[in-house]
């Protein structure tokens, strides 16, 4: 793990520390809700401000996380979902969490339902690459419907090829973590990995299988017997789960469809498709910090295989990156900070997981990792989020290179966990800014040092930082000219 030369005490501006000390967590949450409500009301009053910009993104746009997740993808998805006809999830499961806001500033935490659900004109698609926990999905649907959101088979469609996640997968997840002892991955224990393992070992159960409850029962009993043979402490009532799924079947049946045919037909007819990535590239099963990764492919390849959309149909691929970095769970994290600076940034940025509530680890922006993600995904634009959180810091650090354990300096991201744990970061230090930028809506309104920070990131990545997040509200975004 890298050491940061600049001490936390030296970095934190006195004004910033006193502001944080004066406000309790509940006070900050109330302030945030008021800010969001005001911002979303303003957004509703001027919905066409960036219409030309959003139209320029083409007929198929993917929004993908470029770091370790929690970058704030849901916000841009929420904005663009108002402009697209289809909003699709392609991989992951309820381990992903996207926070979005409606036009009155009300907050929704979504895990399986695509963020386009607040756009009444959008069709939301859960693709074949997602693992679906039906009880969890129904809970989300019930919460949304109680809030007045209309959800029927015309608005939410689930792939008949998507694999199902059962309570037995959650049980297995916990047993697997216990077996790992001191080498725990730090999973959400929501059964995502075991569900994908069932898919890979070809004894998984797909959503379409629920149409025939007789064969469905045989498959679930077989799956349970396999788990019982593997784990001595496995406790699971398969018959109770089967009874529950008889009721679930009636409710989910109208939503099941061949989404490969649907999404390609809609695209062919001229409909616009927005893909909502879950998790992020640095958690990718193939490209991330293995084994401290998720169980799917959140990179562009996983989008294609998780929806059945051909690569040549993608016109825009937007990488979402925080202006700093965060990570939840175990695993190497080269730019990680600790001490008071990390605590202050965590509180200022409300850095707690949407899915788990776990406090996120905090670090400086890592250009080595960001360029690696950009290479894999072919980002056409970057959405730099939470710039406002950095206000008040006199200096900011950007990791531009790694020094390996043998002294080699590199800009390549190592595949070896052992190597990553030994790297130290080569930093560039840039001036910070004191001004509160949460009210800025135009590029020229940003402080000079803030603009310089953005331009430095563009210089180091070779990708335009087109969209800049300056607050939690839907309209709290600056489109760089």
pLDDT tens digits along 353-393: 766 778 999 999 999 999 999 999 999 999 999 999 999 99
The confidence score (pLDDT) of residue 17 equals: 38
Query: 401 is written with which tokens?
Result: 């290179």
Determine which one of 85, 98, 209, 388 is catalytic. 98
**Does residue 15 surpass a pLDDT of 50?**
no
The confidence score (pLDDT) of residue 185 equals: 59
For residue 454, give every residue at least 6 positions away whose Cβ sits within 8 Å of its Cβ, in sequence order, or none.
Answer: 384, 387, 446, 465, 468, 480
* 326-to-52, 92, 283, 345, 427 alpha-carbon distances in Å: 32, 19, 12, 10, 17
- Give mean pLDDT, residues 299-314: 97
Active site residue 98: yes
Residues 73 and 281: beta-carbon distance below 8 Å: no
Mean pLDDT of the chain: 88
The confidence score (pLDDT) of residue 233 equals: 87
Query: d(Cα 156, Cα 393) in Å, to the nearest integer?
Result: 44
At 411-425, the pLDDT tens digits run 999 999 999 999 999
Give the containing element (helix H, strand E) for 10.
helix 8-11
Evaluate the CA torsion angle 351, 356, 361, 364 in order and state its sign: negative
- Give mean pLDDT, residues 237-262: 97
The confidence score (pLDDT) of residue 16 equals: 41
The confidence score (pLDDT) of residue 186 equals: 55
The confidence score (pLDDT) of residue 190 equals: 84
Query: d(Cα 73, Cα 354) in Å, to the nearest integer?
Result: 12
Active site residue 255: no
- Give mean pLDDT, residues 447-468: 98
3-class secondary-structure state, position 139: helix
At 43-91, the pLDDT tens digits run 444 456 788 999 999 999 999 999 998 898 888 988 898 899 999 999 9
* pTM, rounded to two decimals: 0.87
Chain centre to alpha carbon of residue 102: 19
The confidence score (pLDDT) of residue 224 equals: 95
**Does residue 1 surpass a pLDDT of 50?**
no
Residues 400 and 428: beta-carbon distance below 8 Å: yes
At 110-155, the pLDDT tens digits run 899 998 898 888 999 999 999 999 999 999 999 999 999 999 999 9
Query: 150 is written with which tokens?
Result: 């209309």
CB neighbours (10 Å) of residue 362? Answer: 24
Helices (H), 46-84: 51-55, 73-81
At 144-202, the pLDDT tens digits run 999 999 999 999 999 999 999 999 999 998 888 777 765 555 566 789 999 999 999 99
- Give mean pLDDT, residues 94-115: 80
Residues 35 and 43: beta-carbon distance below 8 Å: no
């Amino acid at each position: 793990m890298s050491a940061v030369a600049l001490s936390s005490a030296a970095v934190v501006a006195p004004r910033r520390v006193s502001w944080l000390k004066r406000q309790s967590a509940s006070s900050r949450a109330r302030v945030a809700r008021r800010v969001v409500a005001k911002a979303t009301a303003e957004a509703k009053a001027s919905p066409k401000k960036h219409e030309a910009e959003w139209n320029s993104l083409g007929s198929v746009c993917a929004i993908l996380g470029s770091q370790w997740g929690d970058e704030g993808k849901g916000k841009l998805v929420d904005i663009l979902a108002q402009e697209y006809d289809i909003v699709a999830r392609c991989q992951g499961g309820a381990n992903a969490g996207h926070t979005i806001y409606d036009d009155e500033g009300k907050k929704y935490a979504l895990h399986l339902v695509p963020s386009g659900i607040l756009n009444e004109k959008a069709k939301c698609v859960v693709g074949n690459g997602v693992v679906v926990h039906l009880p969890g999905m129904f809970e989300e649907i019930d919460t949304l419907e109680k809030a007045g959101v209309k959800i029927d088979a015309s608005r939410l469609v689930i792939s008949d090829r998507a694999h199902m996640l059962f309570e037995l997968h959650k049980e297995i997840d916990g047993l697997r973590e216990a077996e790992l002892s001191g080498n725990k991955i730090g999973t959400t224990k929501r059964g995502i990995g075991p569900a994908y393992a069932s898919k890979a070992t070809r004894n998984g159960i797909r959503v379409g299988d629920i149409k025939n409850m007789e064969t469905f029962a045989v498959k679930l009993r077989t799956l349970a017997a396999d788990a019982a043979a593997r784990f001595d402490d496995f406790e699971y009532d398969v018959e109770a789960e089967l009874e529950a799924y008889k009721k679930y079947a009636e409710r989910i049946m109208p939503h099941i469809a061949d989404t490969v045919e649907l999404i390609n037909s809609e695209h062919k007819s001229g409909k616009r498709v927005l893909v909502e990535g879950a998790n992020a590239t640095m958690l990718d099963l193939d490209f991330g910090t293995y084994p401290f990764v998720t169980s799917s492919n959140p990179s562009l390849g996983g989008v294609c295989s998780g929806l059945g959309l051909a690569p040549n149909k993608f016109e825009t691929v937007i990488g979402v990156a925080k202006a700093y970095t965060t990570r939840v769970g175990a695993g190497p994290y080269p730019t990680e900070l600790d001490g008071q600076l990390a605590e202050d940034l965590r509180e200022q940025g409300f850095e707690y997981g949407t899915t788990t509530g776990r406090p996120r680890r905090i670090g400086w922006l890592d250009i080595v990792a960001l360029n690696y993600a950009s290479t894999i995904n072919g980002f056409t634009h970057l959405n730099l989020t939470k710039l406002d959180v950095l206000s008040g810091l006199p200096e900011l650090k950007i990791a531009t290179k790694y020094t390996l354990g043998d002294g080699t300096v590199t800009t390549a991201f190592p595949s070896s966990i052992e190597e990553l744990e030994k790297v130290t970061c080569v930093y560039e230090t840039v001036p910070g800014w004191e001004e509160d930028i949460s009210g800025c809506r135009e590029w020229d309104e940003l402080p000079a040092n803030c603009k310089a920070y953005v331009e430095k990131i563009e210089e180091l990545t070779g990708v335009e930082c087109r969209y800049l997040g300056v607050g939690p509200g839907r309209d709290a975004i600056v489109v760089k000219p």
